Amino acid sequence: MNKPSQAAPSHTKKKAGVWRCPICTFDNDENLPFCEICGVIREAKLGTTDGVCEKPGASLLAKSLFSSNPREGSEDNAESLSIKENNFHGNTKFQARFDDLQKTFLAPDSNAHVNIAPFKFDSPSPDDIVFSGKKALEITPKDRAPSTVAKSKEVTEDMGAAENLERPPRLPSKDSHRNISEGGAGGSTGLANKLQDFSLSQTSEYKPEEWMLPVEEKGALAQLNLAIVGHVDSGKSTLSGRLLHQLGRISRKEMHKYEKESREKGKGSFAYAWAMDESSEERERGITMAVAVAYFDCKRYHVVLLDSPGHRDLVPNLIAGGAAQADAAVLVVDSSGGNFEAGMEGGGQTREHAQLVRSFGVDQMIVAVNKMDCVGYSEERFQGLKKRLGLFLRSCGFKESSISWVPLSAIDNQNLMAPASDPRLSRWYAGPCLLEAIDALQPPVRDVSKPLRLPVCDVIKSRSQGNVSASGKLEAGAIRNGTKVLFMPSGDVATVRSIERDSTSCHVARAGDNVAVVLQGVDTASVTPGGVLCHPDFPVHVAASLELKILTLDVATPILVGSEVEFHIHHVREAARVARIVSVVDPKTGRASGKAARFLSAKQSAVIEVVLAGAVCVEEFSKCRALGRVFLRSSGSTVAVGIVTKVLRQ
State the nearest-atom distance from the C-beta of 277 to ligand GTP, in Å.
7
CA distances from 475 to 44, 115, 360, 366 (A): 42, 22, 14, 24
* Residue 95 near ligand GTP by CB under 6 A: no
What x-and-dash track marks residues 485-504 binding ligand GTP by CB under 6 A? Answer: --------------------
Contact 194, 134 (CB under 8 A): no
State the nearest-atom distance from the C-beta of 92 to ligand GTP, in Å.
25
435 three-class SS: helix
Of 64, 370, 552, 583, the residue at the interface with ligand GTP (CB under 6 A) is: 370
State the nearest-atom distance from the C-beta of 406 to ligand GTP, in Å.
12
State the nearest-atom distance from the C-beta of 310 to ligand GTP, in Å.
2
Residue whose CB is less far from ligand GTP, 371 or 570: 371
State the nearest-atom distance from the C-beta of 118 to ligand GTP, in Å.
16
* Residue 327 near ligand GTP by CB under 6 A: no
* Residue 642 near ligand GTP by CB under 6 A: no
State the nearest-atom distance from the C-beta of 372 to ligand GTP, in Å.
7
What x-and-dash track marks residues 401-440 binding ligand GTP by CB under 6 A? Answer: --------xxx-----------------------------
Find the angle CA(244)-CA(393)-CA(232) to the nearest 5 degrees.
50
* Residue 369 near ligand GTP by CB under 6 A: no
* Residue 352 near ligand GTP by CB under 6 A: no
Neighbours of 595 (CB within 10 A): 12
State the nearest-atom distance from the C-beta of 557 to ligand GTP, in Å.
28
Output the CA torsion sign for 498, 501, 505, 511.
negative
How many whole angstroms separate alpha carbon 525 and alpha carbon 112? 10
State the nearest-atom distance from the C-beta of 348 to ligand GTP, in Å.
12
* Residue 283 near ligand GTP by CB under 6 A: no
Stretch that binds ligand GTP, among 105-113, 169-177, 296-304, 369-377 (CB under 6 A): 369-377
Residue whose CB is less far from ligand GTP, 373 or 619: 373
Stretch that binds ligand GTP, among 316-324, 357-365, 368-376, 632-640 (CB under 6 A): 368-376
How many residues are recorded in the chain? 650
How many whole angstroms separate alpha carbon 145 and alpha carbon 405? 49
CA distances from 99 to 60, 121, 357, 584 (A): 38, 11, 22, 40
Contact 479, 486 (CB under 8 A): no
How many whole angstroms separate alpha carbon 369 and alpha carbon 416? 11
Residue whose CB is less far from ligand GTP, 302 or 353: 353
Stretch that binds ligand GTP, among 143-151, 268-276, 491-499, 549-557 (CB under 6 A): 268-276
Return the amino acid letter for 188: S
How many whole angstroms separate alpha carbon 325 and alpha carbon 332? 18
How many whole angstroms separate alpha carbon 244 and alpha carbon 238? 10
State the nearest-atom distance from the C-beta of 422 to ligand GTP, in Å.
12
How many whole angstroms separate alpha carbon 185 and alpha carbon 526? 8
Of 126, 133, 309, 530, the residue at the interface with ligand GTP (CB under 6 A) is: 309
Return the amino acid letter for 626: A
Size of the residue set binding ligand GTP (CB under 6 A) = 23
Segment 197-256, which members bind ligand GTP (CB under 6 A)? 230, 232-238
Contact 398, 328 (CB under 8 A): no
Of 38, 287, 344, 366, the residue at the interface with ligand GTP (CB under 6 A) is: 287
In sequence order, which residues have a C-beta less than 8 Å from that of residue 367 and are 6 or more positions away?
Answer: 330, 331, 333, 386, 389, 393, 403, 404, 405, 406
Residue whose CB is less far from ligand GTP, 373 or 447: 373
The CA-based dihedral angle spanning residues 150, 152, 154, 157, taken in that order and rounded to the nearest 10 degrees: -140
What x-and-dash track marks residues 590-619 binding ligand GTP by CB under 6 A? Answer: ------------------------------
Residue whose CB is less far from ligand GTP, 228 or 648: 228
Neighbours of 389 (CB within 10 A): 22
Contact 638, 149 (CB under 8 A): no
Residue nearest to ligand GTP (CB): 310
Contact 318, 355 (CB under 8 A): no
State the nearest-atom distance from the C-beta of 288 to ligand GTP, in Å.
3
How many whole angstroms separate alpha carbon 460 and alpha carbon 518? 9
Of 213, 220, 374, 493, the residue at the interface with ligand GTP (CB under 6 A) is: 374
State the nearest-atom distance from the C-beta of 362 to ligand GTP, in Å.
18
Q: Which of 511, 505, 462 lies closest to 92 in space, CA to CA?
A: 505
* Residue 381 near ligand GTP by CB under 6 A: no
Residue whose CB is less far from ligand GTP, 173 or 336: 336
State the nearest-atom distance from the C-beta of 425 to ligand GTP, in Å.
12
Segment 62-91, which members bind ligand GTP (CB under 6 A)? none
* Residue 315 near ligand GTP by CB under 6 A: no
How many whole angstroms separate alpha carbon 67 and alpha carbon 352? 17
Burial class (CB within 10 angstroms; exposed 0-12, middle 13-18, buried 19+) of 109: exposed
Return the amino acid letter for 274: W
Specify which residues 95 forms β-bridges with: 294
State the nearest-atom distance from the C-beta of 382 to ligand GTP, in Å.
13
The CA-based dihedral angle spanning residues 250, 252, 258, 264, taken in that order and rounded to the nearest 10 degrees: 180
How many whole angstroms separate alpha carbon 223 and alpha carbon 225? 7
* Residue 270 near ligand GTP by CB under 6 A: yes
Residue whose CB is less far from ligand GTP, 409 or 638: 409
State the nearest-atom distance from the C-beta of 313 to ligand GTP, in Å.
11
Of 64, 80, 288, 339, the residue at the interface with ligand GTP (CB under 6 A) is: 288
In sequence order, which residues have a C-beta less than 8 Å from that of residue 236 and are 6 or more positions away?
Answer: 228, 229, 230, 288, 307, 308, 310, 332
Contact 288, 237 (CB under 8 A): yes
Residue whose CB is less far from ligand GTP, 236 or 577: 236
Residue ranges that bind ligand GTP, judged by CB under 6 A: 230, 232-238, 269-270, 273, 287-288, 309-311, 370-371, 373-374, 409-411
